[in-house]
Amino acid sequence: MQPPSSATHTGFTVCPGCDLLLEQIRAAADHTAVCPRCGSRLYRARRDSVSKALALSLTGLLLYLPANFMTLLNFDVLGTPSSASIFSSSLSMFAQGQVIVGAVVVLTGLVFPLLTLLLLFAVSLGLYREWQRPWMPVLLRRYHHLTEWAMQDVYLIGVFVTIIKMSHTAAIEPGVGLYCFVGLVLVTIAAQSVIDYPLFWSRMNQGWEPPLPPPGAETAMEAGLMVCHTCRMVVAAGDGRKPRTCPRCGGRIHFRRHDSISRTWALVITAIIFTFPANLLPIMEVEYLGVPDRNTIMDGIIYFFHEGSYGIGAIILIASILVPLFKIVGMLLILLSIHFRRQGWLRHKSLMFRFIQFIGRWSMLDIFVIALLCALVRFGYLSTVNAAPAAFYFTGVVLSTMFSAINFDPRLLWDAAAMPVSRETSYATASSS
């Protein structure tokens, strides 16, 4: 596709997904540039990115305290009231003796969402005031890596699942915290989507000029160039081609991620081993009138389908069973295809890898639902909900599959096969990509 007429050439860039050298074109606002070989998104141009990111991160920070500490839901069972906030729900796993699961819930549900807002606020304020401070690229790198782990959006879906799950047995009233939490999640998603990363990074260049690739080279590796995984800065590899530190953001730069294949294999095998206890052992224990009833993940899904809540049943089936399964099978296919140097379907395998990266965090849904239920259903002898052993193994599956995608270097797929190259950058409008 032809680039839009308002696009301007600004040197060259390297595709993070397949290492292809490309002309860098600054596209018109709301256009997305896509790698013609692997389909990875190179960048998306945004209007008024800095001021919007500043305003949205500030709004998020103002909403953070009421959203997390004020009452989320009020429950009433036979005249016995109970209530919970995001904060008390996040701590509920510790009371059950589930220290590791509790730590993951507190980090992904409370700590990382706050950190991402603080980091984005500091960086966008610095850019807005046109500062050139050495901490700005470091904070933007931290923000870039933390967004995947800040899971308040998954938590919010967990809140809705909990409401529907409990609506049959208790009178539920939403608290002020719920409205603030919905606002916080929407503002955070909006803040992430307005960031124009190439623009942010280019404002922190500090006089750096990229080295020019030699004519005829197709990939950065062939040209003796290395690209930063985070800020996409291109540097000359120099002698020994050893990993270096990025002069702009301070991240590690390598030709290919060190030990990527063996680490990914180890993490995928760990996920497979954890999958069995995660699905066979009970994940939640519901005590009603002193009689304990232990449920596996599958029991929970069957319960929703029996109750006629097909939508919620389908959401949990997808998040807790299908997503982890897809991630494991997908990563295995990619690893085997590299091992046997398969050359077909490379673009599809790249797309599948990007999808695995995208869906990774959504499997945490069931863990957030259990945390909410543990905090809310505290009616003494009448009824209580406790986390059961599978919660630990299930969290293990989510973490190991997420880390396997983080450790995998998608450029290795393309190294295994020499493909014909088209050098024209593809264009798509933001709405269609």
**The binder of Zn ion chosen from 38, 194, 346, 390 (CB under 5 A):** 38
The crossing angle, in degrees rounded to 10, of helices 346-359 and 390-407 is 140
Does residue 228 belong to the site contacting Zn ion (CB under 5 A)? yes
Q: Please, are residues 343 and 331 in contact by the beta-carbon 8 Å criterion? A: no
Name the nearest CA neighbour of 413 among 40, 68, 125, 58: 40
Contact segment (CB under 5 A) with Zn ion among 26-34, 123-131, 236-244, 246-254 equals 246-254
Shortest gap between Cβ of 229 and Zn ion (angstroms)?
Answer: 7
Position among 31, 37, 165, 257 found at the interface with Zn ion (CB under 5 A): 37
- Binding of residue 136 to Zn ion (CB under 5 A): no
Residues 40-99 that bind Zn ion (CB under 5 A): 40
Residue 251 lies near Zn ion (rule: CB under 5 A)? yes
C-alpha–C-alpha distance, residues 432 and 425, integer Å: 16
For Zn ion, which is the closer residue by CB, 42 or 50?
42
Query: Exactly one of 104, 231, 376, 413 binds Zn ion (CB under 5 A); which one?
Result: 231
Q: For residues 341 and 416, is the Cβ–Cβ distance under 8 A?
A: yes
Among positive and negative, which fits the CA dihedral 155, 161, 165, 167?
Answer: positive
Identify the three-state secondary structure at position 226.
Answer: strand
Q: Which of 15, 104, 120, 297 binds Zn ion (CB under 5 A)?
A: 15
From the list 20-28, 62-70, 114-122, 257-265, the region that binds Zn ion by CB under 5 A is 20-28
Distance CA 123, CA 121 (A): 6
- Considering the rule CB under 5 A, would residue 198 count as an interface residue with Zn ion? no
Selected binder of Zn ion within 156, 249, 356, 390 (CB under 5 A) = 249
Running DSSP on this structure, what letter comes out for residue 27?
Answer: P
Site residues (CB under 5 A) for Zn ion, limited to 396-425: none
- Kindly tell me the burial class for residue 419, based on how many C-beta atoms sit within 10 Å of its own C-beta (0-12, 13-18, 19 or more): middle
User: Segment near Zn ion (CB under 5 A), from 90-98, 152-160, 231-239, 274-282?
Assistant: 231-239
Longest dimension (CA), the chain: 78
Q: Least distance from C-beta 223 to Zn ion, angstroms?
A: 15
Among 110, 237, 246, 377, binds Zn ion (CB under 5 A): 246
**Distance in angstroms (rounded) separating the CA atoms of residues 98 and 297:** 17
What are the backbone angles phi and psi of residue 14, rounded to the nearest 5°?
A: -125, 135
Smallest gap from residue 252 Cβ to Zn ion (A): 9
β pairing state of 291-295 and 252-253: unpaired
Does 21 engage in binding with Zn ion (CB under 5 A)? Answer: no
Residue 1 contacts by C-beta under 8 Å, 6 or more apart in sequence? 424, 426, 427, 428
Distance CA 233, CA 238 (A): 15
- Of the candidate spans 95-103, 111-119, 190-198, 240-248, the one that interacts with Zn ion by CB under 5 A turns out to be 240-248
- Asked whether the beta carbons of 378 and 283 are under 8 A apart, the reply is no
Range in contact with Zn ion (rule: CB under 5 A) among 73-81, 227-235, 321-329, 379-387: 227-235
Query: Taking CB under 5 A as the rule, does residue 140 contact Zn ion?
Result: no
Binding of Zn ion at residue 14 (CB under 5 A)? no
When asked if residue 377 is in the footprint of Zn ion (CB under 5 A), the reply is no
Judged by beta carbon, residue 52 or residue 144, the one nearer Zn ion is 144
- Candidates 14, 21, 33, 35; binder of Zn ion (CB under 5 A) is 35
* Nearer CB in complex with Zn ion: 14/319: 14
Nearest-approach distance from CB 256 to Zn ion, in angstroms: 14
Handedness of CA 303, 305, 307, 310 (dihedral sign): positive
- Token pair belonging to 216: 């005829």
Question: What are the two backbone dihedrals, phi and then psi, of residue 211, each rounded to the nearest 5 degrees?
Answer: -70, 145
Q: CB of 232: closest distance to Zn ion in angstroms? A: 7
Least CB distance from residue 291 to Zn ion, whole Å? Answer: 58
Q: Taking a C-beta distance cutoff of 8 angstroms, is the pair 77, 379 a contact? A: yes
Binding to Zn ion by residue 316, rule CB under 5 A? Answer: no
Cβ closest to Zn ion, residue 63 vs residue 356: 356
Residues of this chain that interact with Zn ion (CB under 5 A) are 15, 17-18, 20, 35, 37-38, 40, 228, 230-231, 233, 246, 248-249, 251
